[in-house]
Amino acid sequence: MEYVQGGALSDYIANQSTDWAAAINLIIPVAEALAYAHGQGVIHRDVKPSNILLPQQDWPLLADFGLVKLPSAEKAVTRSGTSMGTPAYVAPEQARGAVIDHRADMYSLGVILFEMLTGRLPFNYSNPNKVLLAHISEPIPFPRHFNPECPTSLEQIIVTMMQKSPDDRYKDIGEVIVALRGVMASSQERPAFHTPAQPAPEARERLQTVEFVHDPKQSSPQPPQPLSPPPPAGTAPLPPTPLSPSSVEPQLEAQILLTDKNATLQVPDQDSAIIGRTHRDTFADLDLGPYGAAKLGISRHHARLTRQDNQWLLEDLGSLNGTFVNDVQVKSGSPVLLNNGDVIRCSHMSFVFLVSPRAK
pTM score, whole prediction: 0.53
- The full set of domains in the chain, from first to last, is 9-185 (1.10.510.10), 201-214+249-357 (2.60.200.20)
The residue annotated as part of the active site, out of 11, 19, 46, 215, is: 46
Question: 319 with 303: CB under 8 angstroms?
Answer: yes
| pLDDT confidence band for 200 (50 / 70 / 90) | very low
Give the number of other Cβ atoms within 10 Å of residue 149's Cβ: 10
∠ Cα 153 159 162 (to 5°): 145
- The confidence band for 3, taking pLDDT boundaries of 50, 70 and 90, is confident
Residues 54 and 6: their CA atoms lie apart, in Å, by 5
| Known active-site residue 46 | yes
**3-state SS, residue 183:** helix
* Residue 75 clears pLDDT 60, i.e. is over it: no
Cα dist from 124 to 17, 34, 156, 199, 206, whole Å:
15, 25, 21, 45, 53
Cα 122 from chain centre: 29
Query: Per residue in 144-197, pLDDT tens?
Result: 999 999 999 999 999 999 999 999 999 999 999 999 999 988 764 444 433 333
pLDDT at 215 over 50: no
Residues of the chain with pLDDT > 90: what percent? Answer: 46
The pLDDT-based confidence of 356 (bands split at 50, 70, 90) is: confident
Instruction: Kindly report the backbone phi and psi dihedral angles of residue 87, in degrees, each rounded to the nearest multiple of 5, phi listed first.
Output: -50, -40
pLDDT tier at 229 (50, 70, 90 boundaries)? low
In terms of Cβ atoms closer than 10 Å to its own Cβ (0-12, 13-18, 19+), residue 14 is: exposed
> Residues 201, 175: contact at Cβ < 8 Å?
no
Look at residue 315 and tell me whether its pLDDT is greater than 80.
yes
Sequence-distant (≥ 6) Cβ neighbours of residue 135 within 8 angstroms: 87, 90, 91, 92, 95, 123
pLDDT digits (tens, 9 = 90+) for 116-147: 999 999 998 989 899 999 999 999 999 999 99
Q: What is the per-residue pLDDT for 344?
A: 93
Task: Return the SS3 of 246.
Answer: helix
Per-residue model confidence (pLDDT) at position 233 = 56
How high is the pLDDT of residue 306?
93
**What is d(CA 118, CA 20) in angstroms, rounded to the nearest whole number?**
9
Kindly give the pairing relationship between strand 286-287 and strand 272-276.
Answer: parallel
Question: Rounded distance, CA 144 to CA 353, Å?
Answer: 42
